[in-house]
């Protein structure tokens, strides 16, 4: 059984995961509008993955006797200034999500809720991957600078980067 405070913290994270999906969806639209097919597909895939993260946590809360809540979401930014700024936003958002997951782990340990602590380890590992991927992409964007040819090649290369979710179907 989840404590009230753990349930509230998990519901807050559910909202963050849902908002992450929306942020990536906005980035997909922005990229598509700029003619960056590879980047937009990458962002659509990332949006789907974040929704799966939200659903996994949503189901966990309900399975543990809590009540997962659907909350109102903040509208994400729709413009990013440049692709570089968009990827900087992506990286900073992943760092924010990692801190939020770490706070959940802290609460679980304080409350000696080892089931939730164990459940959250998947998210900890996932965030390590997502931050590393965002950092790598941002490094490549920084190398390209203002080179339109480089951006074209990057857009083609990013098609090879598939967001492989660790979420098992039906999990």
Residues annotated within the binding site for Fe cation are: 17, 50, 53, 94, 127
Q: Do residues 134 and 39 make contact, with C-beta atoms less than 8 angstroms apart? A: no
Cα gap 12→117, rounded to integer Å: 16
Q: How many CA atoms lie within 13 A of 113 on its CB side?
A: 23
Of 109, 14, 94, 88, nearest to 52 (Cα)?
14
Going by the annotation, the residues of the binding site are 17, 50, 53, 94, 127
DSSP 81: S
Q: How far, CA to CA in Å, does 120 sit from each of 26, 44, 74? A: 27, 25, 24
| Residue 129 token pair | 């991957």
Tell me if residue 127 falls in helix, strand or coil: helix
DSSP 78: S
């Amino acid at each position: 059984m989840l404590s009230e405070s753990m349930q509230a913290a998990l519901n807050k994270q559910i909202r963050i995961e849902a908002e992450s999906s929306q942020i990536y969806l906005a980035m997909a639209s922005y990229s598509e509008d700029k003619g960056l097919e590879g980047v937009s597909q990458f962002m659509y895939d990332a949006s789907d993955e974040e929704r799966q993260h939200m659903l996994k946590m949503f189901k966990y809360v309900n399975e543990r006797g809590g009540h997962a809540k659907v909350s109102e979401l903040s509208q994400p930014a729709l413009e990013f200034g440049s692709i570089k700024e968009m990827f900087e936003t992506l990286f900073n958002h992943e760092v924010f999500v990692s801190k939020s997951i770490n706070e959940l782990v802290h609460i679980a340990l304080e409350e000696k809720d080892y089931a939730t602590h164990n459940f959250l380890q998947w998210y900890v590992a996932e965030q390590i991957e997502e931050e590393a991927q965002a950092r790598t992409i941002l490094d490549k964007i920084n190398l390209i600078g203002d080179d339109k040819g480089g951006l074209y090649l990057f857009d083609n290369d990013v098609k090879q980067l598939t967001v492989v979710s660790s979420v098992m179907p039906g999990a």
